[in-house]
A and B are shown apart, each in its own frame.
Chain A
Amino acid sequence: MPTLNINGQNHKLDVEPDTALLWALRDTLQLTGTKYGCGIAACGACTVLLNGAPTRSCVTPVSAAVGQRVTTIEGLPTAKTGNKAARAVQAAWEKLDVVQCGYCQSGQIMSAVALLTSNPKPTDADIDTAMAGNICRCATYHRIRAAIHDASRALA
């Protein structure tokens, strides 16, 4: 039974080691903020942080996450890395009413937090590079870009 450190807590999971981290989070731990969108790392809805790095949990076997810090959208407020960026990102997202259907937004926020943690002053090109893996079918991209800049200003 693999043991995972998720949002600062150790969890012994009754799943096969090849189970995708996404489904261990969602179905075993009921951490449903992380979403299923494509299953092949093509849409970013399942993005979590692995030791602070944005990672597609739908193609990450549980076995590969053993010994690493897993942070999900639920764990952002208490995360060791990036919680300052997380507060700024979530505040900006709310201020600009970025969301529409909202299904992709956990993944968008995780990617944005990772970006601003490593690069507090991203250019538009930096944002494109960091966020192009996250699809939003409601096309809230315009506001995502604005919110990342807004969060960046708040962090300055």
Chain B
Amino acid sequence: MSIDNANRREFFKVGAGLTLAFYLPPSLAASNLGKGAASLANTSTPPLPLSLNAFVRIGTDDRVTVIAKHLEMGQGTYTGLSTLVAEELDAAWSQIHVEAAPADAKRYNNLFFGPMQATGGSTSLANSFMQMRQAGATARAMLVSAAAQRWQVAPESITIRQGVVTHAASNRKARFGELVEAAAQLPVPQDVKLKAPKDFVYIGKHVARTDSKAKINGTAIYTQDIHLPGMLTAVVAHPPRFGAKVKSFDATRARSVKGVVDIVEIPTGVAVLGKDFWSAKKGRDALSVTWDETAAFRLSTAEITQQYKTLLDSPGATAKKVGAADTALMAAHTQLSADFSLPYLAHATMEPMNCAIRLDTEGCEVWNGEQAQTTDQLKIAAALGLKPEQVKINMLYAGGSFGRRSSTQSDYPLEAAQIAKAIFTAGKPALIKLVWTREDDMRAGSYRPQFMHRITAGLDAEGNLMAWKQRIVGQSILVGTALEGYVKDGIDMSSVEGAVNLPYATANLSVDLHSPKLGVPVLWWRSVGSTHSAFAIESFVDELAYAAKKDPIAFRRKLLTEHPRHLGVIDLAMRASGWDKPLAPGKFGEKRGRGFAVHESFNSFVANVAEVTVKPDGSFKVDRVVCAVDCGIAVNPDVVRAQMEGGIGFGLSAALHSEITLNEGRVEQSNFTDYPVLRINEMPDIEVHIVPSAEPPTGVGEPGTPVVAPAVANALFAATGERLRQLPFRLGAAKSA
């Protein structure tokens, strides 16, 4: 095999971005892309799988490897990306294998984020839809050309089905593996034709998840499972308050713990390194640290809430201003106002944060459930005095993220890097795995910010919305980060999304924002701004409907005539839930209620009908949630359903249970005992219905989350007459207060 690598390099335009597609033997593709590729011209190692482009590699054993640039954190992205490739390649599903892409923002950037490799904002399938199909179609065209040349027939006369290349007229057949070496010698076609939707065999149909088997038999490897010879486990003593630092520490007792190997001070605390987790943890427990708390954040939740309430009374930065809301409110037939309050929330992924790293004279290598390659590469490189390309990142399965692993500060990867640096600087081999305990994870910040909303609205006598005025108070996620440049005129869009694009028709809309600066680290949390805006808006619209004595759905429909996709999910959820029929009564003494909510986030539209039963003792159960979703083309309908089910469960955790509170700056929660989350006995029956669509696919990881809390609040109101405007819900709190 003789390959002039330089001549094999080709560019082709894909969708919104430019992708470098070039032939690359797999040993290199899997390790260090590009470096030393030319030396392979003389290699005689047979037979190598061939990279037909940056996203597809085919082996002589017929194995099709899809290179995934996005993190698989549960949302089904590996399956979705593979579906797109398999579709255009006409591969058999059993041929498909997935491999994580290396960190390389030039080739594996998120096309919606610019020159940045990251997974987030429910963009994985949306930004990859054309790119991965192009990759599959390009590889297919090369296989067809190779077969045409071998058989001396016209390419148009060749078909591929389920991984078999066929020339029907001469009854000749070939497997991918038989053609791939010849295919790799061909020029990369520039203009491949994609399939028409009517010809789809995988998109919109059911395929099995690519990660099911490994996650069922225990062989799937997460960062927590990385074991390399000589690797030490690091457990870190963190300060009890945000902003505090190490003053001094006594490691005498910790050093005497069997298995403890080293103890180093790092900017975020004191790291104890042990031969395994148990000894490192015991070592940390034996450590005595004195903290310098001069710069520590010391407010309590009650004080923060009081600050927020004060801010609700004064105008903030203008996020949206159409017409004159104040004037219109004075003229309204009915005026309503209500405040909504939501706490800090932890992501509480099942796999607490962790990160493995090796640092040597050549550079460093990271193992992580990597959600933000480019950010982490830059931050780690800066901390270690390396070039970003010297930071090699292995993206592993993540045991959940919900936004947590895409830290604007690279908090935990950077902590791992600092530990490695401290050891390496002392002249010792630096190969460590940082493990946060559940308690570390829950107290480390990066919370969904606490938020309050005040909405005031006016209706005319017919129930038309004369004015909508919404004031929002909550910490900005972007201020103080590298993304602060996106904050324009005091508006962090992630704080006001859902409100500034209020779909309900009104001539007078005003949204303003206060972004108090507090020393609590905050971050995006599954569906970000919509986690709070949807609760406030959809609860309040329900209040308006009752004030106007209208059916909550009919009231909304009338205000959404310009929003056909909202109407689409509303009508589907209404039909599927039997909204027009009375809700079956509960047992004697029980009250039942049904509530509705609809919300657009990440360009997807979701409606929920929730049914609840309230028992005589005031406890309640969410019995059933009917969900309708419009996410454009549903590439994998079963994954879409799974994300809606999971999103609803995640949203219910926050609605029913979860909150992070502070006592003089100390986080009061530590584990699932004091930060309860949804368990199986509380999971409602969920039905998911997908709106058929020919629109390009939009996200499903996040949009299922924000709709259920207002739907349940509205159902509880229907059942009891009590409005719950604070999360987590405390039914009866209004009466007892």
Contact = CB atoms under 8 A, between A and B. Distances in A.
Contact of B224 (A35, A38, A72): A35
B348 A137 contact: yes
A32 interface: yes
- Closest 3 pairs between A and B when the two form their complex, measured CB to CB: A139-B649, A33-B218, A103-B399
Contacts of B672: 38, 40, 42-43, 135
A25 to B, nearest CB: 11
Interface of B: 73-76, 208-209, 211-222, 224-225, 227, 233, 258, 276-278, 348-352, 397-402, 435, 437-439, 638-639, 642, 645-650, 652-653, 671-673, 677-681, 683, 685-686
B653 A99 contact: no
19 contacts: A27-B278, A28-B276, A31-B218, A32-B224, A33-B219, A36-B277, A40-B673, A72-B218, A74-B217, A90-B216, A99-B212, A99-B216, A101-B351, A102-B399, A105-B215, A135-B679, A141-B649, A143-B642, A145-B680
B648 A135 contact: no
Of the listed residues A27, A32, A35, the one surrounded by the most CB atoms of chain B closer than 10 A to its CB is: A27
Given A26-B277, A94-B213, A101 B73 contact: yes
Interface of A: 15-16, 19-20, 23-24, 26-28, 30-40, 42-43, 45, 72-74, 76, 90, 93-94, 97-106, 109, 127-129, 131-132, 134-145
Nearest to B220: A102
Given A73-B218, A102-B74, 9 more contacts: A27-B233, A98-B212, A100-B74, A101-B73, A137-B350, A138-B400, A139-B645, A140-B646, A141-B680
Given A35-B351, A137-B677, A99 B685 contact: no
B350 A45 contact: yes
Nearest to A93: B216
A51 to B, nearest CB: 20
A128 B402 contact: no
A43 B233 CA distance: 22
B208 A27 contact: no
A141 B647 CA distance: 12
Contact of B277 (A16, A23, A45): A23
B211 A99 contact: yes
A20 B439 CA distance: 17
A134 B216 contact: no
Of the listed residues A33, A141, A144, the one surrounded by the most CB atoms of chain B closer than 10 A to its CB is: A141
Contacts of A143: 642, 645
Contacts of B438: 37-40, 43
A113 to B, nearest CB: 12
A134 to B, nearest CB: 7
A16 B281 CA distance: 13
B680 A106 contact: no
A111 to B, nearest CB: 10
Nearest to A34: B218
Contacts of B349: 101, 103, 137
Contacts of A76: 217
A36 B225 CA distance: 10
A139 B214 CA distance: 19
Contacts of B400: 101, 103, 137-138
A136 B399 CA distance: 10
A17 B333 CA distance: 75
Contacts of B402: 137
Contact of B397 (A16, A74, A97, A101): A101
B356 to A, nearest CB: 13
Given A94-B212, A97-B638, A139 B350 contact: no
Contacts of B685: 142
A19 B211 contact: no
Contacts of B350: 35, 37, 43, 45, 101, 103-104, 135-138
A15 B224 contact: no
A33 B645 contact: no
B645 A140 contact: yes
Given A128-B681, A139-B683, A140-B646, A103 B216 contact: no
B671 A38 contact: yes
A137 B654 CA distance: 11
Nearest to A108: B680
A20 B642 contact: no
A97 B208 contact: yes
Contacts of B74: 99-102, 138
Contacts of B211: 99, 102
Given A38-B672, A101-B351, A23 B680 contact: no
Contacts of A37: 350-352, 438
A139 B215 contact: no
A4 to B, nearest CB: 15
B683 A142 contact: yes
Contact of B686 (A127, A131, A136, A142): A142
Contacts of B671: 38-40, 42
A106 B645 contact: no
Given A99-B215, A101-B350, A143-B642, A32 B225 contact: yes
A19 B278 CA distance: 7
B331 to A, nearest CB: 46
A103 B212 contact: no
Contacts of A45: 350
A36 B645 contact: no
A99 B219 contact: no
Nearest to A92: B216
A135 B657 CA distance: 14
B448 to A, nearest CB: 14
Contact of B208 (A30, A94, A127): A94
A104 B233 CA distance: 22
A131 B680 CA distance: 7
Contacts of B227: 27, 30, 32
A120 to B, nearest CB: 19
A42 B683 CA distance: 18
A103 B222 contact: yes
Contacts of B208: 94, 97
Contacts of A42: 671-673
A99 B460 CA distance: 50
A136 B400 CA distance: 10
Nearest to A33: B218
A93 B214 CA distance: 12
Contacts of A142: 645, 649, 683, 685-686
Nearest to A109: B216
Given A38-B438, A90-B216, A90-B217, A99 B679 contact: no
A62 B639 CA distance: 40
Given A26-B277, A139-B683, A101 B212 contact: no
Contact of A15 (B225, B278, B439): B278
A102 B397 contact: yes
